Each structure stands twice: as C-alpha cells, then as structure tokens.
C-alpha cells in the first residue's frame, strides 16, 4: 500500500507544481474514492481572490459535488502540506476517512502541529486516520524553493 500512497501523493505534488506556475503557494491535494482519483486541486487563493480556496477545500468541494453528498466518509485525502485549522475543520465536517500529508507546517498546521484540531473536544469527527511524512522531503522542498524565489525576487537575502 505504501507504493500506492506514494503514487497518490505524487499526483498531489504535480498539482502543487501547477499551483506554483500560477504564482500560488504550491500546495496540492488529491481525493481518492474506491481507489480512483476523483479530485485533484491546487491552491487558488490569488486566482479566485478567495482566502478559502486552499487545495484541500477545493478538492473536498469537488469530491462532494461529484459524489452528490455533503459527507464523503469513504474518501481519502492526500495533501502536500499539513492542513490548517480551516481545512482540518472541513476535513472533519466532510468525514474524510484518511488523511495523508507530506510536510509538517509548524507555523500554520493544525493536525500534528499547532492546535491539533482532531484532538479537540469540539471536533465532530475523531475517527480519521492520519499519516504524516509521506514524500515529506519533496513536499517541503517545493515550498522552500517557492518562498526562496519570492524572497530573491524582492531582494531579500537568506
């Protein structure tokens, strides 16, 4: 199963690269239903002028629409960066079965970092399986490179 998980995360990484080409923070998300990819999304906050247009949010919206349901408990989510609080809440409300993420987000993450949303008593869905560190180096590298280029373009030294 590890090889299959890596294949799905690689798809999320490809979407993260596409997001970077659009000058979006390079985060990609993939949702799987019955071993089929039903949604592939990258960040689009700048493109859509929408602070909620994170890769996870867009992927969840698309998967729910495709499956005609507000909850998708038979789906797995692969995302290149640890979800923030907003995305963790959406994952819980959507009843996603499994969450796989690549790089930890020590600053804004809410799953294993920060507030650890799924451990809070206010979280409605605690049965989610969480796997972190899947293709962690690759997922972290794309973000590091993206922000290094942004700083370089602004003349900010490391």
Mark whether 62 is an active-site residue: no
Catalytic residue among 15, 56, 82, 136: 56
Report d(CA 134, CA 139) in Å as an integer.
8
How far is 25 from 7, CA to CA, in rounded Å? Answer: 22
Task: Evaluate whether 26 touches 45 at the Cβ level (below 8 Å).
Answer: no
Please give the Cα distance from 136 to 103 (Å, whole number).
Answer: 5
- Mind giving me the DSSP string for 40-91? EEE--HHHHT-TT--HHHHHHHHHHHHHT-S--TTEEEEEEE---HHHHHHH
**What CA–CA distance (Å, rounded) separates 27 from 124?**
26
Number of residues written out for the chain: 158
Residues assigned a catalytic role: 56
């Amino acid at each position: 199963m590890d090889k299959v998980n890596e294949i799905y995360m690689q798809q999320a990484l490809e979407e993260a690269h596409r997001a970077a080409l659009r000058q979006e923070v390079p985060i990609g998300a993939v949702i799987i239903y019955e071993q089929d990819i039903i949604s592939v999304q990258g960040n689009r906050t700048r493109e859509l002028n929408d602070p909620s247009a994170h890769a996870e949010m867009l992927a969840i919206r698309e998967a729910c629409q495709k499956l005609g349901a507000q909850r998708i408990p038979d789906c797995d989510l692969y995302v290149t960066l640890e979800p923030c609080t907003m995305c963790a809440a959406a994952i819980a409300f959507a009843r996603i079965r499994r969450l796989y993420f690549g790089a930890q987000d020590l600053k804004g993450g809410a799953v294993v970092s920060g507030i650890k949303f799924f451990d809070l008593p206010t979280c409605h869905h605690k049965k989610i399986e969480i796997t972190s560190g899947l293709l962690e180096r690759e997922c972290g590298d794309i973000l590091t490179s993206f922000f290094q280029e942004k700083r370089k373009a602004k003349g900010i030294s490391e």
